[in-house]
């Protein structure tokens, strides 16, 4: 397995819509395994293929808390087929928006249909944290970031911070290369 590079906002690739996967084959399984390894290494609880620069409708999630056994879900072409009317706010963060957290209101319970790593159609009911993680990662498949669910003022502040951070990091890399 290999670690993948995680795209950090602002980056136009994060705003693109991912394409459906025709069939789960060995390459897709390998990608999902690499995504899981990358997610665990980051560390995170979810990762969508577009965050790794792959515009395919694939997400991996694992809501297991530290110390608990892993409980990964690998989902291809996930679609919400039911969502509760009851909503709840939950502080969300994102591997593509490091160190940024804001409350987002989402349905508390969902039912999702997806294709698993064995190319079999599955359905899962999720609530609480698992529901939030799946919805968050599915948003990435449509080019939506969690900051798109908050006020434009807060969103703009976060994007400005990340832009500034990218410029500083880029300058540091350039300086290191010049002095190597």
Answer yes or no: are the C-beta atoms of 71 and 32 closer than 8 Å: no
Q: Is 137 labeled as catalytic in the residue annotation?
A: yes
Q: How far is the C-alpha of 119 from the C-alpha of 162, rounded, in Å?
A: 38
Pick from 92, 34, 46: which is nearest to 72 by CA? 46
Q: What is the largest CA-CA distance in the chain?
A: 58
Q: Is 172 exposed, middle or buried (0-12, 13-18, 19+ CB in 10 A)?
A: exposed
Pure H helices in 4-114: 26-41
Beta strands in the chain (DSSP E): 46-48, 58-61, 73-83, 87-94, 97-107, 109-115, 121-127
Which one from 85, 100, 137, 178 is the annotated catalytic residue? Answer: 137
Q: Which residues are catalytic?
A: 137
């Amino acid at each position: 397995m290999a670690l993948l590079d995680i795209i950090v906002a602002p980056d136009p690739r994060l705003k693109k819509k991912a394409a459906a996967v025709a069939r789960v084959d060995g390459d897709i399984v390998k990608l999902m395994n690499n995504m899981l390894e990358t997610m665990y290494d980051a560390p995170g609880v979810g990762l969508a293929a577009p965050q790794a620069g792959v515009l395919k409708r694939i997400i991996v999630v694992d809501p297991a808390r530290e110390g608990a056994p892993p409980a990964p879900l690998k989902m291809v072409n996930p679609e919400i087929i039911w969502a509760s009317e009851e909503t709840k706010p939950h502080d969300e963060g994102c591997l593509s928006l490091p160190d940024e957290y804001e409350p987002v209101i989402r349905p508390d319970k969902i039912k999702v249909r997806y294709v698993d790593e064995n190319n079999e159609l599955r359905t899962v009911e999720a609530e609480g944290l698992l529901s939030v993680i799946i919805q968050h990662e599915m948003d990435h498949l449509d080019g939506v970031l969690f900051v798109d669910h908050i006020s434009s003022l807060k969103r703009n502040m976060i994007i400005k911070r990340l832009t500034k951070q990218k410029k500083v990091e880029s300058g540091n890399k350039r300086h290191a290369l010049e002095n190597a």
